[in-house]
Amino acid sequence: MQQPKRLKDLSKNEYKRILERSTSKVEEALSAVIPIIKEVKENGDEALVKFTARFDKVNLTAQDLIVSKERIEAAYKKTSPDVVASLKRMRDQVCHFHQHQIRKEWSINKFADKGEGRYELGERFIPIERVGVYVPGGKANYPSTAIMAVVPAKIAGVSQIILASPPRKTDQMADVVIVAADIAGAHLLINIGGVQAVAALAYGTSTIPEVDMIVGPGNAYVNVAKAYLSGLGEVAIDSPAGPSEILILADDSANPSYIARDMLSQAEHAEDNSAVLVTTSKKLADKVYQYLESEVDKCLRKKIIKKSLEDYGAILIADSLSEAIEFTNEFAPEHLEIMTERPHQVLKEIKNAGSVFLGDFSPVAAGDYLTGTNHILPTGGSARRFSGLSVETFLKKITYQSLSKKALNLMSEDIARLASLEGPYNEHIRSVKAREEG
Amino acid sequence: MQQPKRLKDLSKNEYKRILERSTSKVEEALSAVIPIIKEVKENGDEALVKFTARFDKVNLTAQDLIVSKERIEAAYKKTSPDVVASLKRMRDQVCHFHQHQIRKEWSINKFADKGEGRYELGERFIPIERVGVYVPGGKANYPSTAIMAVVPAKIAGVSQIILASPPRKTDQMADVVIVAADIAGAHLLINIGGVQAVAALAYGTSTIPEVDMIVGPGNAYVNVAKAYLSGLGEVAIDSPAGPSEILILADDSANPSYIARDMLSQAEHAEDNSAVLVTTSKKLADKVYQYLESEVDKCLRKKIIKKSLEDYGAILIADSLSEAIEFTNEFAPEHLEIMTERPHQVLKEIKNAGSVFLGDFSPVAAGDYLTGTNHILPTGGSARRFSGLSVETFLKKITYQSLSKKALNLMSEDIARLASLEGPYNEHIRSVKAREEG
Of the residues B414, B429, B433, B436, the best mutation for testing chain A's interface (the one with the most A CB atoms within 10 Å of its CB) is B414
| B326 has a chain A CB within 8 A of its CB | no
Contact list, A384 vs chain B (CB under 8 Å) = 128-129, 212, 396
CB-based contact A182:A84 (threshold 8 Å):
no
Q: Which of A141, A230, A387 sits opposite B421 (nearest CB)?
A: A141
Q: Which of A180, A196, A177 is nearest to A44 (CA)?
A: A196
Residue A90's pLDDT is what?
98
Which of B269, B335, B337, B375 does the annotation list as catalytic?
B335
Contact list, A357 vs chain B (CB under 8 Å) = 400-402
Q: Which of B362, B386, B400 sits opposite A358 (nearest CB)?
A: B400
Q: Which of B144, B236, B127 is nearest to B184 (CA)?
A: B144
Average pLDDT, integer, range A333-356? 98
Distance from CA of A52 to the nearest CA of B (A): 23
Residues A411 and A324 in one domain: no
How many angstroms separate the CA atoms of A250 and B267, rounded?
A: 60
Lowest-pLDDT choice from A101-105, B194-198, B305-309, B434-438: B434-438
Using CB atoms and an 8 Å cut-off, which of residues 359-388 of chain B contact chain A? 359-374, 380, 382-388
Assess if residue B322 is contained within a domain. yes
Average pLDDT, integer, range A109-119? 68
CB-based contact A358:A220 (threshold 8 Å):
no
Quick one: closest CA in A to B99, which residue? A108
| B256 has a chain A CB within 8 A of its CB | no
Tell me: pLDDT of A349 over 70: yes
The strand pairing partners of B338, in sequence order, are B249, B358
Domain boundary among B187, B220, B237: B237
Using CB atoms and an 8 Å cut-off, which of residues 273-302 of chain B contact chain A? 299-301
pLDDT tens across A262-292, in order? 999 999 999 999 999 999 999 999 999 999 9
CB-based contact A94:A151 (threshold 8 Å):
yes
Average pLDDT, integer, range B198-222? 96
HSE (side-chain half, CA atoms, 13 Å) at B227 = 30
How many angstroms separate the CA atoms of A197 and B23, rounded?
A: 25
How many angstroms separate the CA atoms of B16 and B390, rounded?
A: 31
Average pLDDT, integer, range A224-239? 87
Q: Is A314 helix (H, G, I), strand (E, B) or coil?
A: strand
Assess if residue A416 is contained within a domain. yes
pLDDT tens across B159-168, in order? 999 999 999 8
Q: Is A304 helix (H, G, I), strand (E, B) or coil?
A: helix
CB atoms within 10 A of CB B87: 27
How many angstroms separate the CA atoms of A63 and A206, rounded?
A: 11
> What DSSP string describes A212-245?
SEEES---HHHHHHHHHHHHTTS-EE-----S-E
Distance from CA of B318 to the nearest CA of A (A): 24
Q: Which of A231, A360, A415 sits opposite B365 (nearest CB)?
A: A415
Residue A98's pLDDT is what?
98
Instruction: Show the domain range for A410.
Output: 404-437
Would the CA dihedral through A218, A223, A224, A230 be positive or negative? positive
pLDDT tens across B257-298, in order? 999 999 999 999 999 999 999 999 999 999 999 999 999 999
CATH code, domain carrying A280: 3.40.50.1980
Residues A17 and A31 in one domain: no
Check CB contact under 8 Å for B400 and A355: yes
How many angstroms separate the CA atoms of B203 and B210, rounded?
A: 5
- CA A267: distance to chain centroid? 19
Please state, in angstroms and as integers, the Cα–Cα distance from residue A220 to each residue in A30, A150, A194, A203, following that order.
9, 22, 10, 20
Check CB contact under 8 Å for A386 and B418: no
Assess if residue A382 is contained within a domain. no
Task: Specify burial of residue B15 (Cβ count, 10 A radius: 0-12, 13-18, 19+).
Answer: middle
- Angle (CA) A389 A387 B367, round 5°: 100
Decide which of B110 and A411 is more confident.
A411
Please state, in angstroms and as integers, the Cα–Cα distance from residue B42 to each residue in A20, A276, B190, following that order.
19, 31, 19
Check CB contact under 8 Å for A144 and B265: no
Q: Total domain count for chain B?
A: 3
Per the prediction, chain A carries an average pLDDT of: 94
Q: Which of B101, B401, B426 sits opposite A373 (nearest CB)?
A: B401
Q: What is the 3-state secondary structure (H, E, C) of B140-152?
A: CCCHHHHHHHHHH
Characterize the bridge pairing of strands A119-127 and A395-403. antiparallel
CB-based contact A179:A144 (threshold 8 Å):
no
Assess if residue B392 is contained within a domain. no
Residues A264 and A300 in one domain: yes
The strand pairing partners of A249, in sequence order, are A278, A338
Q: What percent of chain B has pLDDT over 90?
A: 86
Residue A118's pLDDT is what?
82
Per the prediction, chain B carries an average pLDDT of: 94
Contact list, B388 vs chain A (CB under 8 Å) = 397, 399
How many angstroms separate the CA atoms of A90 and A84, rounded?
A: 10
Residue A30's pLDDT is what?
82
CB-based contact B132:B201 (threshold 8 Å):
yes
Quick one: closest CA in A to B90, which residue? A414
CB-based contact A165:A202 (threshold 8 Å):
no
Assess if residue A298 is contained within a domain. yes
Average pLDDT, integer, range A92-105? 97
CB-based contact B238:B145 (threshold 8 Å):
no
| pTM (2 d.p.) | 0.95
Average pLDDT, integer, range A181-200? 97
Average pLDDT, integer, range B95-100? 97
Check CB contact under 8 Å for B264 and A431: yes
Q: Which of B19, B251, B1 is nearest to B10 (CA)?
A: B19
Domain boundary among A237, A266, A298: A237
Residues B221 and B285 in one domain: no
Contact list, B83 vs chain A (CB under 8 Å) = 417, 421
Continuous H helices in A99-219? 143-156, 175-184, 194-203
Lowest-pLDDT choice from A21-25, A297-301, B335-339, B400-404: A21-25
Contact list, A176 vs chain B (CB under 8 Å) = 421
Q: What is the ipTM of this complex?
A: 0.96
Residues B130 and B233 in one domain: yes
Average pLDDT, integer, range A130-149? 93
Assess if residue A53 is contained within a domain. yes
Residue B169's pLDDT is what?
82
Residues A364 and A424 in one domain: no
Q: Which of A374, A388, A378 is nearest to A148 (CA)?
A: A374
Q: Which of A361, A388, A407 sits opposite B408 (nearest CB)?
A: A361
pLDDT tens across A65-90, in order? 999 999 999 999 999 999 999 999 99
Check CB contact under 8 Å for B399 and A356: yes
Residues B273 and B213 in one domain: no
- Angle (CA) B353 B356 B357, round 5°: 155
Residue B231's pLDDT is what?
77
Residue A124's pLDDT is what?
98
| B323 has a chain A CB within 8 A of its CB | no
Query: What is the amino acid identity at position B354?
Result: G
Continuous H helices in B157-281? 175-184, 194-203, 220-231, 256-267
How many angstroms separate the CA atoms of B376 and B368, rounded?
A: 9
Assess if residue A51 is contained within a domain. yes
Lowest-pLDDT choice from A165-174, A253-262, A264-273: A165-174
Check CB contact under 8 Å for B371 and A411: yes
Contact list, B253 vs chain A (CB under 8 Å) = none
Q: Which of B142, B269, B428 sits opposite A368 (nearest CB)?
A: B428
Provide the number of CB pairs (under 8 Å) joining chain A to chain B.
Answer: 380
pLDDT tens across A196-224, in order? 999 999 999 999 999 999 999 998 899 98
CB-based contact B151:B393 (threshold 8 Å):
no
Assess if residue A397 is contained within a domain. no
Check CB contact under 8 Å for B387 and A404: no
Whole-angstrom distance between the N-terminal and C-terminal Cα of chain A?
79
Using CB atoms and an 8 Å cut-off, which of residues 50-79 of chain A contact chain B? none
Q: Which of B119, B142, B398 sits opposite A371 (nearest CB)?
A: B119
Q: Is A20 helix (H, G, I), strand (E, B) or coil?
A: helix
Residue B276's pLDDT is what?
98
Which of B39, B245, B271, B334 does the annotation list as catalytic?
B334
Lowest-pLDDT choice from A48-57, B219-228, B259-268, B290-299: B219-228
Which residues have a Cβ under 8 Å from the Cβ of A140 and sit 6 or more positions away? B422, B423
Q: Which of A297, A365, A138 is nearest to B427 (CA)?
A: A365
Contact list, B144 vs chain A (CB under 8 Å) = 418, 421-422
| B429 has a chain A CB within 8 A of its CB | yes
How many angstroms separate the CA atoms of B326 and B328, rounded?
A: 5
Residues A318 and A199 in one domain: no
Strands across the sheet with A188-190, in order? Answer: A188-190, A160-164, A130-134, A213-215, A236-237
Binned at pLDDT 50, 70 and 90, residue B112 comes out as: low
Continuous H helices in A52-126? 69-77, 81-98
Binned at pLDDT 50, 70 and 90, residue B28 comes out as: confident
Distance from CA of B145 to the nearest CA of A (A): 10
Distance from CA of A64 to the nearest CA of B (A): 25
Lowest-pLDDT choice from A38-52, A132-146, A147-161, B329-343: A132-146
Binned at pLDDT 50, 70 and 90, residue A140 comes out as: confident
How many angstroms separate the CA atoms of B49 and A288, rounded?
A: 52
Check CB contact under 8 Å for B426 and A373: no
| A88 has a chain B CB within 8 A of its CB | no
Contact list, B129 vs chain A (CB under 8 Å) = 351, 384
pLDDT tens across B232-262, in order? 778 999 987 889 999 999 999 999 999 999 9
Residues A107 and A187 in one domain: yes
Check CB contact under 8 Å for A396 and B411: no
Check CB contact under 8 Å for B397 and A388: yes
Q: Which of B268, B398, B404 sits opposite A350 (nearest CB)?
A: B398
Domain boundary among B220, B237, B254: B237
| B230 has a chain A CB within 8 A of its CB | yes
> What is the DSSP-derived secondary structure letter of residue B359?
S
CB atoms within 10 A of CB B355: 28
Please state, in angstroms and as integers, the Cα–Cα distance from residue A358 to each residue in A62, A252, A353, A366, B183, following that order.
48, 15, 13, 12, 41
How many angstroms separate the CA atoms of B222 and B233, rounded?
A: 17
Q: What percent of chain A has pLDDT over 90?
A: 86
Residue B422's pLDDT is what?
92
Q: Is A107 helix (H, G, I), strand (E, B) or coil?
A: strand
How many angstroms separate the CA atoms of A227 and B227, rounded?
A: 8
B255-279 burial, b if ≥16 CB within 10 A, otherwise e?
A: bbbbbbbbbbbbbbbbbbbbbbbbb
> What is the DSSP-derived secondary structure letter of residue B56?
I
Which residues have a Cβ under 8 Å from the Cβ of A160 and sit 6 or more positions away? A129, A130, A131, A187, A188, A209, A211
- CA B352: distance to chain centroid? 15
Residues B73 and B141 in one domain: yes
Residue B113's pLDDT is what?
57
Residues B32 and B18 in one domain: no
How many angstroms separate the CA atoms of A359 and A378, rounded?
A: 22
Q: Which of A100, A356, A382 sits opposite B233 (nearest CB)?
A: A382
Residues B188 and B313 in one domain: no
Average pLDDT, integer, range B324-330? 98
CB atoms within 10 A of CB A288: 26
Of the residues B234, B237, B418, the best mutation for testing chain A's interface (the one with the most A CB atoms within 10 Å of its CB) is B418
Phi-psi region of B44 (alpha: psi -120 to 50; beta: other; left: phi over 0): left
Strands across the sheet with A395-403, in order? Answer: A106-110, A119-127, A395-403, B355-358, B335-339, B245-250, B274-279, B314-317, B5-6
CB-based contact A353:B395 (threshold 8 Å):
no
Please state, in angstroms and as integers, the Cα–Cα distance from residue A394 to each residue in A153, A161, B107, following that order.
6, 11, 21
Tell me: pLDDT of A26 over 80: no
Residue A438's pLDDT is what?
59
Average pLDDT, integer, range B380-389? 94
| A129 has a chain B CB within 8 A of its CB | yes
Distance from CA of B211 to the nearest CA of A (A): 10
CB-based contact A427:B265 (threshold 8 Å):
yes
